[in-house]
Structure 1
């Protein structure tokens, strides 16, 4: 095979170079898409690359299904955190929120008669109960707008609103979309630093080895051509699978390392054959035949190593394995075809400004520093070989003694899941830190427990009530108290069990669990309407208060006596807030929201996920009210990936 390859290269070197140039030209548009618009091709959300059959992914799919839930309830995707020092500043933040909402709606406009963006205050948060604290605004978009692509626009609008209104507030745009954006920006900055540094070191190393500019630049350029083809392949693969953003950086580094090594083998073997007096064609034939065989076996071994990752159940790893294996394949093909073709065309000029005589013993170069380094290297490897043969047993024993404790450390080391803590510093990360300091860190990415009900426990109607100058309201009607009471009791029992199990395990990270709650029962339990309002999440409290304050006769007129205030409040508190789904396809879901105090992906929060899963499994072993359960959310998906 390699004899035939060598003959083909010798006969048609220019054609091979032209073929590679044509392939690169065809790949250029797709390569440009990956390099210039990586967010449109690559994934920056590792949780979206979980195992397709995992419980967390199935749960996220249910949450994102608008046939069930009011909107995607998988987390606060985009939030604005504003520092608040005192009551006067709080009043200013309220005005700022109104101005910002107007600015956002002016910028994004409407779609189908509805605003494409909404700004909702989630309220004031402070662990001390007083000032200082933070005010959080949740920003949501219509389905036609991709939040991760709007981060810089949103930050610009926030800055412009501050400037025009004379505000001097400390604001942080964060949430999943902003975290993904800042991660992408940080990764691109890292690539800008890593790639030139890697290439410079490769050029320096090969340049010193061959003492040649052309020999130094040809391997990286050759692998660069292969990398361009791989980028086009990444673009194609992205239509069928999620490819994590870091993959494009890792594949370049691996291709530079392995690919340049393959190129050096070919060039070095050619040089050694020429030094023995063989002709140009014979030397090239020998280099392709013998060095080609070595690098092919080596390359296949590397491809197998990366390729087995493709069988991993988590797509982020399997996709990375496929791309890395493809990168080595293209690097190997380039080393076997493009490098010999260039050598065939250039001949001895491959080593310019040196010549073949430069490497001969007795030459001026070999008498200088280059010769001294070459001889020192030869002595080192000769001595290493003699030492290894003489003390083979001792070396093996030493390796075993070192490997055993290091292997134990690796096997028992606690894995870190904290992607947020390791992301580059930026506004999104600072916003997360503010939330952790003043509120529940887990509110940004809560953990959810979905409980499946085979039947309908609540009838939900959207836009059932029209209020002049205010818009429309939905209503929720419980099927009956005989149906409602057992499910409320069952979900509350599970919520209490999760908190109790965590406390017994010494885990104090669960700050609360929110589940379905009927308004009339909530008022009865709290003792008064005002006390019941205080139990509600602040993000819905004002909406509920507006309904409570409507005159009873006016309400009857608006609804025609069909619905009570409790029906509208239950719609807001349960369906709009995401605690219950619509009835669809024979199922309805109750969602328990587990709020954690610590940062979403910290080791403590991941440990809490383990406890929540255990509590749910233990409860479901004897429960009869629910047919299935799903522990899910962004943090749980990350847990499954890890």
Structure 2
């Protein structure tokens, strides 16, 4: 099938390129606008308590919402606010309200804090869930300008924090970070491909091709989101950028290495490209299928953000695969050997002395290689036990010098940490109006909850059947301590203290995070096993084996554990962070398990190919490492380097993601695929291919005059062999 595809593409390159141009234009012209949301509650199913509380609150208090921004005012000398200072704050509040800033629905000054170190002006804004809507961000910018003018020349200082301000600062920080990531990714790909192929043409090939198809990917994702009503998280765009360039470059690299190999075997350029597509097409397609299946398994998630992210990334990989098997061969077939210009190195077979020597050493002692590489994976995996998921992202997602961070610290001088986003406890009496005694007793119970700083007076709905108690926690709303308070004593006491005939639910952003954590733990038990089973089916079909998929998947999950352990070691133990971002296991699943399987498939596919040509298990492992090792190494360096560029963005969240993914891919390429998997295959021997017949060659048992001349001599470090169509040439020794 792939040989036929290669012939069609190579002999009709202009038609293939034309079809791609038509497809790109058609998708861009018909695709709806891509939209995403920052509202985390939009991703949770309706049965979770935080969502029930949100719906009850919207029903009873449609105009009520927590302030979108908080203007924090304090004295420059740090002294308590005087009566004159407080009057000045009230005047400022009135003046800002009179400016009628677009998107601002209310500006209200609150009394000074008990210690009078700060005074807050609460700013209500229109609710925004679409990141494309810049209303809140623009409002914060204008308020900051107005505020600066009003405190200039006074003894007061003021700044804006709260959700809207934090979101603005984080967005600006992320935009700068993504610009750095984009530039670093392109530069890295250019430099590494120049070093590997010594050709600017090949170095530019992935940039041009992937850049051309990126719009198509975005359009197809927007179509899928609209067709299936998927809620896209704002992180989709940044992840797509890295996935497209990383995976797309890998697939192009796999193809070009095999193309160069066939040219060196004496084939003309067009025949060499047909052979490259025929030989590597099945491996690339199987690898992409494993990645797509892993991504699509996320549709089983109970969280909307992952249900949408899975198909989005699957579409990106599918388009990258089709481009790698059609568009790239079409372009290269037009260029021929000029694709390597100005280098002439493609004409000469490299000695590959390093990979040849390592391969021969592994062929002699596969048990040692398996034990050492497996030991490294197990040792790092043990450290994963200390993993602590955290939702405390604000401190790491923007600069400490940003206004929202600086004035959040000022806010804490006079108010509990949870003041920026209070929780809401709603008491509901379906049978009739709530009484004053019921409200007083219930509030008294909430005040006694450990971790609760303040409990406001209840706000009653029009029919007095629903009461909203605003609860300010002593800890920051996204902190581990706040999550523990809501998940434990606050919910427990709120439920238990509800008067007979009433029910209570706890809402707010902290409650949403608590439910997120519960939903993710539920998803791990479903998504990961289903993905593993489906990937094993792909491996079984590719390798025609029921044995190999088991130890291949075992090695992949060892790689997963090792990656998580390494990340825990660096960020929790060395840097002293309280935990890793809560999505880390899913991020690693997406990139380490799914993409790391690529390298396993590439190496094992070559192992099977060598076995089909009559090699013994140890010889097949040695030669696979010699031939495929450089490809895996180059692809691993490029993909790991691409993700490592995220560490340049300047915030802890992206640093954790970049480190984990890049280290995971490096482990998958340089430990798992290059050593652990081939060494295990050599140890298991011919049983690895059961019930298939890969070890007996394409034509049955080795035939005298062909395969008998090629055999593995562990004492000879320069085994070189090539198939020229009819005979084998071999620098090894004749079998006695």
TM-score by length of 2: 0.64
Counterpart for residue 354 of structure 1: 343
8 A Cα contact 2:424 2:470, kept in partner: yes
- Structure 2 distance, partners of 1:283, 1:264, is 15
Q: Does 1:19 align with 2:19?
A: yes
Cα 1:305–1:142 change in 2 (3 A) is: closer
Match of 2:255 among 245, 258, 266: 266
Provide the C-alpha distance between the structure 1 equivalents of 2:299 and 2:118, rounded to a whole number of angstroms: 45
Q: Does 1:228 align with 2:212?
A: no
2:412 is paired with a residue of what secondary structure? helix
Q: Structure 1 residues 389, 630: closer, same or farther in 2, change over 3 A? A: farther
RMSD of equivalent CA atoms: 2.9
For each residue in 1:113-140, what CA deviation from the matched residue of structure 2 results, as whole angstroms up to 9, or x when unmatched? xxx63211122125xx24xx22211112
Q: Matched residue of 1:80: which SS?
A: strand
For residue 406 of structure 2, give the secondary structure of its aligned residue in structure 1. Answer: helix
Does 2:192 align with 1:185?
A: no
Residues 329-372 of structure 1, C-alpha deviations (whole Å, 9 max, x = no match) = 111111111101101221122222235xx4334xxxx9xxxxxx
**Is the contact made by 1:436 and 1:599 (CA closer than 8 Å) also made in structure 2?**
no
The C-alpha deviation readout for 1:300-336, integer Å capped at 9, x for no partner, is 1111222212221111222222212211111111111
Tell me, yes or no, if structure 1 residue 254 matches structure 2 residue 230: no
Query: RCO higher in 1 or 2 (8 Å CA, sep ≥ 6)?
Result: 1
> Which residue is 1:283 aligned to?
272
Aligned residues of 1:78 and 1:139 also touching (Cα < 8 A): yes
CA shift, 1:166, in A, is 5.2
Does the aligned pair in 2 maintain the 1:203–1:216 contact within 8 Å? yes
Partner residue, 2:509: 634
- The yes-or-no answer on 1:590 pairing with 2:584 is no
Task: Tell me if the contact between 1:436 and 1:597 (Cα under 8 Å) persists in the aligned partners.
Answer: no
Q: Is 1:244 matched up with 2:230? A: no
Displacement of 1:189: 1.1
- The match for 2:93 is 97
Q: 1:12 to 1:400 in 2, by over 3 A?
A: closer
Instruction: Report the secondary structure of 2:316's partner residue.
Output: helix
- Identify if the C-alpha distance between structure 1 residues 409 and 271 changes in structure 2 by more than 3 Å, giving closer, same or farther: closer
Q: Distance in 2 between matches of 1:150 and 1:143?
A: 8
Q: Is the 8 A contact 2:460 2:466 kept in 1?
A: yes
Uncovered stretches (5+) of structure 1, i.e. residues with no partner: 35-40, 110-115, 367-373, 458-482, 503-508, 517-578
Name the counterpart of 2:47.
53
Task: Flag structure 2 segments of 5+ consecutive residues without an equivalent.
Answer: 518-736
Tell me the TM-score normalised to structure 1 length: 0.72
Q: Do 1:222 and 1:335's aligned partners in 2 also have CA atoms closer than 8 Å?
A: no
Aligned-partner Cα distance in 2 for 1:484–1:305:
54
What is the correspondence of 1:273-352 to structure 2 with a 5 Å cutoff? Answer: 273-352=262-341
Identify which of 388, 413, 416 aligns with 1:440. 416
Deviations along 1:448-472, whole A, 9 cap, x unmatched?
A: 2222211331xxxxxxxxxxxxxxx
Q: SS of the counterpart of 1:422?
A: coil
**Are 2:11 and 1:69 aligned?**
no
| Pair 1:137 & 2:126 matched | no
Distance in 2 separating the partners of 1:28 and 1:273: 37
Q: Would the alpha carbon gap of residues 411 and 51 (structure 1) be closer, same or farther in structure 2, given more than 3 Å must change? A: farther
User: Are residues 243 and 108 of structure 1, via their aligned partners in 2, closer, same or farther at CA, if it must alter by over 3 Å?
Assistant: closer
> Aligned partners of 1:283, 1:319: CA distance in 2, in Å?
40
Instruction: Give the structure 2 partner of residue 539 of structure 1.
Output: none
Residues 177 and 275 (structure 1), Cα distance of their counterparts in 2 relative to 1, 3 Å cut: same
Give, in whole Å, the separation in 2 of the partners of 1:14 and 1:391.
Answer: 50
**1:118 match:** 106
Q: Which has the larger radius of gyration?
A: 1
Measured after TM superposition, the shift of residue 416 of structure 1 is: 1.6
Matched positions, count: 505
| Map 1:73-84 → 2, pairs under 5 A | 73=65, 75-84=66-75
Q: Answer whether contact 1:187 1:246 (CA < 8 A) is retained.
A: no
Aligned 8 A contact 1:214 1:352 in 2: yes
Could you say what secondary structure the match of 1:595 adopts?
Answer: strand
Tell me by how many angstroms 1:641 deviates.
1.9
Work out the CA distance in 1 between the residues paired with 2:302 and 2:189: 35
Residues 230 and 327 in structure 1, CA contact (< 8 A), matched pair in contact too: yes
Q: Distance in 2 between matches of 1:640 and 1:136?
A: 30
Deviation of 1:486 (Å)? 5.1
* Counterparts of 1:582 and 1:19, CA distance in 2: 62
